[in-house]
Amino acid sequence: MKRSALVVAAASFALGALFYSNVGQSKPIPAPSNAALLARIEALEARSFKQVGSGYELTLNGARITVSAQGDVGIVAPRNASISTGSNLVITTGQGLTATSGQDAQLQVGRNLALTTGQGLALQSGKAASIHAGQGLDLRAGQDALLQSGKDTLIQTGDKLTAKAAKGMSLETTQDMTLRAKHMTLKASGDVIVKGKKINQN
């Protein structure tokens, strides 16, 4: 059976009280030093965790990948950031979720993508940003939700696109923005802002 992969590359990599879940088995990853983190992730049978230049590259393999945390979850990359899996990707945090890339940012899953936070949700890219889900896409924030890109932004799903924020929601790009879904819901208690040179919806 072919296994899917989740790859996160960053100049620095920090994990708090996270859990790596694969085929129904969850194992805690405490916040150790980089050397201890390497040993623990290898024990979890990750395909690779290696130093790349001054940073680290982490690859986790599994049909389903789940990341959850009591506090904040952060992914920071000065260049390109990519998260992909052939099946479902679920990221849940009790507080904030931030993914920041200095250049391109991409989230891609073969089936369902769910990002849920108890507080703010922020996805920021210095250049292009894209989110692809083969089936459903669900983004939920307990407070503000922000998707910001320096170039083109594409959000695409084969079925439903749901984005909900308890406060305000902002989808912003300096270039073109494209939203594609069979059914689309953008809902916030505050303002919903969609901003770009050209907005495409289909």
Range scoring the smallest mean pLDDT among 69-83, 84-98, 109-123, 187-201: 69-83
Q: Does residue 183 carry a pLDDT above 70?
A: yes
Mean pLDDT over all residues of the chain? Answer: 71
What is the number of structural domains in the chain?
1
Round to whole Å and give the CA distance between 43 and 60: 12
Which of 79, 169, 83, 171 shows the shortest CA–CA distance to 126? 79
Provide, rounded to the nearest whole percent, the portion of the chain with pLDDT above 70: 59
pLDDT band at 57 (very low <50, low <70, confident <90, very high): low
The SS3 call for residue 19 is strand
Residue 96 is part of which domain span? 5-201
Taking alpha carbons only, the member of 183, 196, 122 closest to residue 154 is 196
Give the per-residue pLDDT at 43.
Answer: 45
d(CA 3, CA 130): 23
In 10 A of CB 79, how many CB atoms? 14
Amino acid at 24: G
Write down the H helix ranges in the chain.
34-43
Residue 91 contacts residue 117 (beta carbons within 8 Å): no
Write out 24-50 in H/E/C secondary structure: CEEEEECCCCHHHHHHHHHHCCCCEEE
- Amino acid identity, position 140: R
Query: Of 18-32, 88-102, 105-119, which gets the smallest average pLDDT?
Result: 18-32
Note the pTM of the prediction, 2 decimals.
Answer: 0.66
What confidence category does residue 50 fall into, taking pLDDT thresholds of 50, 70 and 90? very low
Per-residue pLDDT tens digits for 108-145:
888 888 888 888 888 888 888 888 888 899 998 989 98
Cα–Cα distance for residue pair 112/139, rounded to 1 Å: 11
Contacts of 133 (CB under 8 A, 6+ apart): 108, 109, 111, 112, 113, 156, 157, 158
